[in-house]
Structure 1
């Protein structure tokens, strides 16, 4: 149980944990405090948005809609791992849930009871992160997004002195929800616990894989012939973003650009941001093996 972080403290906690933060205009005073209490806070709830695209998802979570005004969370975590802050204070994200679950979170219990009653207002007690995903069990969770979700959760736990057992999924709060879908919350909490054990800027407990550094957008505009292009193409095929009739091979071609555009759209980019020319964030998310 703790007092909610101030806007400045929240931003500082996230950035200390290595999270890339974007502050949406007006987020610092955007809340539903006039409709009920905000705090004491006891934990973090993870959601999926059932939307695609970063700008669309951020807009919906900031503004809400007629039946449920925004903010619909405190932060939106995009496919590329960026955390977009949209609210500071009470937010319409948790809704009613099980008081027994809240008591287990307060006690930082290693097990949660199955939610079977909706008798407690979760908007009072939980921070909420909406994570961009269609929630159909098929839309992938890029590693860079999951890592940002872990770090954002760990940042709040670290700031309040909580353990990873203070982080739950919306489906663990109420039996009326299924989110987040596509990964196990027990595994997610294990990652948060490992992150907390590593320290705010400490090394991961697992040796990281060696990935190819981003060669720069201009490098691709020069139509390179390189093993890096082949490795990139193989990763694009592996993540279901192939526009190749054959290959991929070492020569950069239009098929590479079209395949990369599919990858950008999969991450939620649109328009000119999904033109097929690699950028630093989308490249990092692709995790091309080091050549």
Structure 2
């Protein structure tokens, strides 16, 4: 439970986390004041826009729709990772949701209850980020966009002293919504948790340029299960070899393979994991311990 950030504090927190911020004209005074309370705040809700195109998506989230006045969130996160701030204060993004879920977020429980009631005004308690995606399960989530979503969430958690458990998806707030679609919120929270384990890019009182991280942020379990071909996989494999956890016959390469999974399982066992916790699918904590060099 916390007092909402001021506009200046919000911008500073985002930029300190290495986020590229664009301030939409008028966002600092754009809100739904007079239509309900704003705060105390308890967490962050992630949405998808069901739109494409940056300019049109930002305009819609600022202006609203014929059936719902704007702002429809606090920030719009584009495919290129830019965060466009469109509202400051109460916004029409969360709507009614389950009070039991709010209680779990406040207590930062490891498991959220399934939402089955719409008895609580979420616009009072949550910051909202609308992330540009068609929401059809096919439109890709570029890693630069996911990383910006992670950093924006972590910025608010860091500013308020929250853990990653204070970040939820709209579909976790109410059974009337399916967003965000295309990645698992548990994996997303793991990435936020890993990010919170790092120092921010700079002090919150300055306006730095985004920094390049030393180590590769955790891409999420779902990313690996899609059989990726990426320099990240090669960099991971080299770190596994360096730590004596190789199951490779000819060395690591960019294509995720059974050898990568077997090698990672060796790494998990080396860290003391057993059973299904050592199944070869990377997790946030074991990934952070591996210290995979950042790959652009």
Residue 173 of structure 1 aligns with which residue?
173
| Partner deviation per Cα, 1:250-287 (whole Å, 9 max, x = no partner) | xxxxxxxxxxxxxxxxxxxxxxxxxxxxxxxxxxxxxx
Q: How does 1:72-87 map to 2 (within 5 A)?
A: 72-87=72-87
Residue 69 of structure 2 aligns with which residue?
69
Q: In the superposition, relative to structure 1, how do residues 79 and 116 fare at CA in structure 2: closer, same or farther (>3 Å)? A: same
Between the aligned partners of 1:45 and 1:54, the Cα distance in structure 2 is 20
Between the aligned partners of 1:176 and 1:207, the Cα distance in structure 2 is 32
Between the aligned partners of 2:8 and 2:184, the Cα distance in structure 1 is 32
Residue 57 of structure 1 aligns with which residue?
57
| TM-score, normalization by structure 2 | 0.70
The answer to whether the 8 A contact 1:198-1:204 is kept is: no
| Partner deviation per Cα, 1:131-180 (whole Å, 9 max, x = no partner) | 00000000000000000000000000000000000000000000000000
Q: How does 1:26-41 map to 2 (within 5 A)?
A: 26-41=26-41
Matched residue SS, 1:47: strand
Residue 261 of structure 1 aligns with which residue?
none
Q: CA RMSD in A?
A: 1.9
Q: How does 1:30-179 map to 2 (within 5 A)?
A: 30-179=30-179
Q: How far apart are residue 207 of structure 1 and its match?
A: 7.5
Structure 1, 123-132 or 194-203: larger mean CA deviation:
194-203
Q: How far apart are residue 206 of structure 1 and its match?
A: 3.6
| Partner deviation per Cα, 1:50-100 (whole Å, 9 max, x = no partner) | 000000000000000221000000000000000000000000000000000
Q: In the superposition, relative to structure 1, how do residues 17 and 34 fare at CA in structure 2: closer, same or farther (>3 Å)? A: same
| Partner deviation per Cα, 1:212-249 (whole Å, 9 max, x = no partner) | xxxxxxxxxxxxxxxxxxxxxxxxxxxxxxxxxxxxxx
Between the aligned partners of 2:48 and 2:103, the Cα distance in structure 1 is 24
Q: Which runs of 5+ in 2 are unaligned?
A: 203-212, 219-229, 233-294
Matched residue SS, 1:33: coil
Q: Which runs of 5+ in 1 are unaligned?
A: 212-288
Is 1:20 paired with 2:46? Answer: no
Residue 280 of structure 2 aligns with which residue?
none
Between the aligned partners of 2:140 and 2:23, the Cα distance in structure 1 is 26
Between the aligned partners of 1:166 and 1:156, the Cα distance in structure 2 is 10
